[in-house]
Amino acid sequence: MNIKTVIKKHNTPLIFIACCIFAVLASSPIYASESEHRDEDTRNAEFVHISDNMAQKMGVVTQKVSAGQLNITTTVYGNVVTDPASLSHVRARFDGMVTKVNANLGYKVKKGETLAVVESNESLKSYPVTAPFSGIVIARHANEGELSNGQVLFSIANYKEVWAQLKIFPQQLSEIADQQSVQLSLSEAKLNTTIQHILPSPDEKPYVLAYAKITNTSGRWPVGADIKGQVVISTQNVAMMLPKAAIQEFEGASVVFVKKGEEYHPVPVELGQQDNTNIEVLLGLSIEDEIVSQNSYLIKADLEKSEAGHEH
């Protein structure tokens, strides 16, 4: 029986028959495949157009996908301490009376500068008490008319070099050793340095102490401040690596924005190992793809705003 016969026998409306035929065809594999392709084309059509000039003004930075090395770290904590070589407690060479004081608390002094004058009890001759190196007077115990009597008259410190004193607990001992790299952080300040030596802690504490030198000419590492350290315990070579800042969550997936001309396309990626800065990419990208490495959240926000506008 053909369609023509059915129509004639039952006098069925032509519109109803046409709708039935279309419904059957639409459910066939051919139409389903075409529907999937349309969905894929829609996803591929999701992008943000930004001129290169505007992208530069927005602070959008791109880079090529490449192989790299991840630095696997363990976290330690500690504080900034004075470099023992940069702290001096100054005494008079001979006992006598302090007849003059030139330096006060907080004074910046230079090496060889006269801090005080003392009259010797034995020779009754006056001699200068000088600064052993350049630094800051952090303590003063000398006043005119007093006897020196072997006591500390001044304490001088130079904070241009200080130490990170880091606590290493037993479960970390097998991973940490001398000459390993460590990144220190204090508020906004960050510094890459090296563990110089590891010593037992005083008073039989349940940890050892690792020391790393800090160049402190900026003054951003004050003595006594609490600090965090990331000690590099191993390295891992990976075929593709990106900055973690390049990854955004979009429509339930981790995506990277790939730049094609002045278009930025969200590309889903499968991720692997990571360190503090970078992350491995297993699938989704190719070497030499140009991706947004900084301020990618601006692209995401622009894309979401565009989609919200289309929904209305």
Q: Return the number of other C-beta atoms located less than 10 Å from residue 10's C-beta.
A: 9
Phi–psi pair at 195, nearest 5 degrees: -70, 120
SS3 of residue 202 by DSSP: helix
Q: Return the number of other C-beta atoms located less than 10 Å from residue 238's C-beta.
A: 18
Q: What is the largest CA-CA distance in the chain?
A: 141
The amino acid occupying position 15 is I
SS3 of residue 14 by DSSP: helix
DSSP string, 151-168: ---EEEE-TTEEEEEEEE
pTM: 0.65
SS3 of residue 26 by DSSP: helix
CB hemisphere CA count around 298 (13 angstroms): 15
pLDDT at 311: 57
pLDDT at 307: 67
pLDDT at 5: 32
pLDDT at 310: 55
pLDDT at 4: 35
- Tens of pLDDT along the chain (312 residues) come to 333 333 333 444 544 444 444 444 444 443 334 444 434 443 455 888 999 999 999 999 999 999 999 999 999 999 999 999 999 999 999 999 999 999 999 999 999 999 999 999 999 999 999 999 999 999 999 999 999 999 999 999 999 999 999 999 999 999 999 999 999 999 989 999 999 999 998 887 889 999 999 999 989 999 999 999 999 999 999 999 999 999 999 988 999 999 999 999 999 999 999 988 999 999 999 998 999 999 999 999 888 887 665 555
pLDDT at 84: 92
pLDDT at 32: 38
Which DSSP category does 167 fall into? E
- In Å, what is the CA distance from 181 to each residue of 3, 120, 121, 217? 81, 52, 54, 21
